[in-house]
Amino acid sequence: MPIYNAPTKDIQFVLHDVLNVSQSGIPGYNELDSDFTSAVIEEAGKLAHDVLAPLNSVGDKEGCRLENGVVYTPTGFKDAFNMMKDGGWTGLDVDPAYGGQGMPYILGKAVAEIFSGANQAFTMYQGLTHGAVAAIYEHGTDEQKATYLEKMVACEWTGTMNLTEPHCGTDLGLMRTKADPQSDGSYKITGQKIFISAGDHDMSDNVIHLVLAKIAGGPEGIKGVSLFIVPKFIINEDGSVGATNGVSVGSLEEKMGIHGNSTCVMNYDESTGYLLGEEHKGMRAMFTMMNEARIGVGMQGLAQAEAAYQNAVLYAKDRLQGRDVTGAKNPDGPADPLIVHPDIRRNLMDQKSFVEGGRAFLLWSSMLIDQTRRAGDKDAHGLVSLMTPVVKGFLTDKGFDMTVQAQQVFGGHGYIEEHGMSQFARDARITQIYEGANGVQALDLVGRKLGLDGGKHVMAFFEMVKSFIKENQDNEALKNDFLDPLKQASKDLQAAGMYFMQNGMKNPNNALAGSYDFMHLFGHTCLGLMWARMAKASLAALENGAPDVAFHETKLATGRYYMARQLPATGMHLARIESGADTVMALDAESF
């Protein structure tokens, strides 16, 4: 059975050595000293290791089942869910006014990576609730907050997001679900939603659905979409759970992975719904959550890569096969362990340098969210809005690729389900799709975020890279291995942006045809920056006589690998981008 250990040391390194959170001045971050975050992370790690990880393959094998309208989760999920509730984990970064712990988003994300790495399908139940809580917290009336939040923060009631319908996913303007206004101010919601994660299950007393629907007579298309709270069971005046509400599960979807999560077709038949936020402003209400939700999905991609990597390393050390060409490393054994072979190393280093760089990127982005929320920093908001599609698209694309590479280390043993390596890849695969497929992320990045506030935020990013390079130019240990490759990557990224400016005006397809490559070019540059910052931190730690010399030397070596072996991808992405739209759009649709 696969193992999972929380990457405590690595998270601590990013939080304290690299981001220096407790000194950052962000309100509430002063609490985040090293002892405190270490205690939280280790506690989360214990739960992940002891409870969640062992249920991961159980969830995959059993899946959920629908019997007489009731959805049952896999064996053990309910008990584990109760442990999450009892431990207060479900409200870690939520306002104490509603029973949360009031911790910063960054700590919530660090912990979420651990739970998700141990069991993505399970952790989604509370992840979706968390998203619904954020929406009600942001857009709900005082009464709505009072009615729902405390129960949802505690996961006594869980939440969902209902966007997709059979004929529309990305293009929600085509939506058909209707909301008929009632005299009491409520609405009757009727329609069908699909792909509803955690749509129904047996682990909570109620499910609070957030449902996008069109109010009759409203504007056409996306401008006529509103958001509604539709509880599975009506809430009585006294706050108790009451009658059914015309909400039913049409079926459970059979999926490639995340079998432990109940992905439902949800039918709403004149279900009572309550407007959340303003009429016809449903998309805006959804979008305020979108940055956070998408960063959460980027986290999931990373988390699966970390989990798969840990198991690939174990196997590579354990499995004896072949001999080191430079001389036997295990001369008394029948063969050397896989890890002696350069191509296995290449594979493992790809994974290791990605997950560590990706984690720094994730936590840095999470810090920007806190800067936005807690300090009202508009520049931070702009920067994280720009970064969001990169976090989501790049970390999930690479995260999936890395689970596939980890599976490859196992050879045939990776293809059979017994070792659990297939599950990591199958579970990670969804992260490239949900919360906006990665092509949509690329479109969002190039079509919307690049030009946001007159391009101010992308300029700020370039400036950040430039000044980092300038400030550290005299650091000989950084220069060749880190600063020079980072400079090249940033130059490639700027050239790509310049190409879009010069050619996207003439024909927007010149920009859109390069959007996916731009997302990856941007992602590599961000990880390059993160590695340069981590290298700087490790060099400083070594200079300052930090006790764990091996940790910091390993960090530096891993960073050098990323800069030498991954960053050269930027040149390829730039070449593709600069080839423009001509070859991409040359064919008629009939010629495919």
Residue positions annotated with a catalytic role: 435
- Counting residues that bind a second copy (by CB under 8 A) gives 96
| Residue whose tokens read 């104490």 | 96
Does 442 help bind a second copy (rule: CB under 8 A)? Answer: yes
Whether the CB-CB separation of 22 and 33 falls below 8 Å is answered with: yes
The Cα 428–Cα 120 span in angstroms is 9
User: Which among 43-51, 110-118, 369-377, 422-430 is the span making contact with a second copy, rule CB under 8 A?
Assistant: 422-430
User: Which among 94-102, 165-173, 367-375, 448-456 is the span making contact with a second copy, rule CB under 8 A?
Assistant: 165-173
Binder among 375, 437, 477, 495 for a second copy (CB under 8 A): 437
* Token digits of residue 57: 């393959």
Kindly state the smallest distance separating residue 448's Cβ from a second copy, in Å: 12
Q: Letter for the amino acid at 507?
A: N
Kindly state the smallest distance separating residue 190's Cβ from a second copy, in Å: 20
Does 290 help bind a second copy (rule: CB under 8 A)? Answer: no
Does 477 help bind a second copy (rule: CB under 8 A)? Answer: no
In degrees and rounded to multiples of 5, residue 322 shows phi and psi of 75, 175
Instruction: Name the residue nearer to a second copy (CB basis): 154 or 308.
Output: 308
Whether the CB-CB separation of 355 and 302 falls below 8 Å is answered with: yes
Measured in residues, the chain has a length of: 592
**Which parts of 402-421 interact with a second copy (CB under 8 A)?**
404, 407-408, 411-418
Decide: helix, strand or coil at residue 207: strand
**Which parts of 328-357 interact with a second copy (CB under 8 A)?**
334-335, 337, 339-349, 352
Binder among 70, 174, 498, 540 for a second copy (CB under 8 A): 174
Kindly state the smallest distance separating residue 559's Cβ from a second copy, in Å: 9
The alpha carbons of the chain give a radius of gyration, in whole angstroms, of 24
The Cα 237–Cα 239 span in angstroms is 5
User: Which among 73-81, 120-128, 438-446, 490-498 is the span making contact with a second copy, rule CB under 8 A?
Assistant: 438-446
Does 317 help bind a second copy (rule: CB under 8 A)? Answer: yes
**Which parts of 446-465 interact with a second copy (CB under 8 A)?**
447
Nearest to 418 by CA among 339, 335, 315, 340: 315
Kindly state the smallest distance separating residue 330's Cβ from a second copy, in Å: 10
User: Which among 29-37, 117-125, 432-440, 538-546 is the span making contact with a second copy, rule CB under 8 A?
Assistant: 432-440
Query: Which residues sit opposite 432 in a β-bridge?
Result: none
**Which parts of 224-283 interact with a second copy (CB under 8 A)?**
253-257, 263
* Token digits of residue 66: 């629908």
Give the CA distances from residue 241 to residues 66, 156, 169, 189, 190, in Å, rounded to whole numbers and listed in that order. Answer: 22, 11, 32, 19, 21
In degrees and rounded to multiples of 5, residue 584 shows phi and psi of -70, -40
Binder among 384, 430, 450, 478 for a second copy (CB under 8 A): 430
**Which parts of 565-584 interact with a second copy (CB under 8 A)?**
565, 568-569, 571-572, 575-576, 579, 581, 583-584
Whether the CB-CB separation of 65 and 36 falls below 8 Å is answered with: no
**Site mask for a second copy (CB under 8 A), range 91-130, x = bound:** ----------------------------------------
**Which parts of 484-523 interact with a second copy (CB under 8 A)?**
507-509, 512-513, 515-516
Binder among 313, 375, 452, 460 for a second copy (CB under 8 A): 313
Binder among 262, 365, 438, 503 for a second copy (CB under 8 A): 438
Instruction: Name the residue nearer to a second copy (CB basis): 28 or 447.
Output: 447
The Cα 44–Cα 60 span in angstroms is 22
Binder among 53, 443, 483, 521 for a second copy (CB under 8 A): 443
Instruction: Name the residue nearer to a second copy (CB basis): 92 or 290.
Output: 290
* Token digits of residue 145: 């907050």
**Which parts of 124-163 interact with a second copy (CB under 8 A)?**
none
In degrees and rounded to multiples of 5, residue 525 shows phi and psi of -65, -40
DSSP 8-state secondary structure symbol assigned to residue 198: T
Whether the CB-CB separation of 48 and 118 falls below 8 Å is answered with: yes
Does 557 help bind a second copy (rule: CB under 8 A)? Answer: yes
Kindly state the smallest distance separating residue 125's Cβ from a second copy, in Å: 18
Query: Which residues sit opposite 267 in a β-bridge?
Result: 192, 248
The Cα 92–Cα 88 span in angstroms is 7
Element (H, E) at 6: none
Is the alpha carbon torsion for 108, 114, 115, 119 positive or negative?
positive
* Cβ neighbourhood burial of 416 (10 Å; 0-12, 13-18, 19+): exposed
DSSP 8-state secondary structure symbol assigned to residue 254: P
Does 195 help bind a second copy (rule: CB under 8 A)? Answer: yes
Kindly state the smallest distance separating residue 313's Cβ from a second copy, in Å: 5
Whether the CB-CB separation of 490 and 462 falls below 8 Å is answered with: yes
**Site mask for a second copy (CB under 8 A), range 368-407, x = bound:** --------------------------------x---x--x
Kindly state the smallest distance separating residue 413's Cβ from a second copy, in Å: 8
**Site mask for a second copy (CB under 8 A), range 30-69, x = bound:** ----------------------------------------
Whether the CB-CB separation of 431 and 121 falls below 8 Å is answered with: no
Kindly state the smallest distance separating residue 13's Cβ from a second copy, in Å: 14
Kindly state the smallest distance separating residue 422's Cβ from a second copy, in Å: 4
Nearest to 430 by CA among 399, 387, 463, 464: 399
Instruction: Name the residue nearer to a second copy (CB basis): 238 or 587.
Output: 587
Whether the CB-CB separation of 358 and 302 falls below 8 Å is answered with: yes
Q: At what angle do helices 421-429 and 282-318 cross, to 10 degrees?
A: 160
Task: Estimate to the nearest angstrom the gap between the alpha carbon of 199 and the chain centroid.
Answer: 20
Kindly state the smallest distance separating residue 328's Cβ from a second copy, in Å: 13
Instruction: Name the residue nearer to a second copy (CB basis): 123 or 272.
Output: 123
The Cα 154–Cα 152 span in angstroms is 5
Does 531 help bind a second copy (rule: CB under 8 A)? Answer: no
Kindly state the smallest distance separating residue 333's Cβ from a second copy, in Å: 10
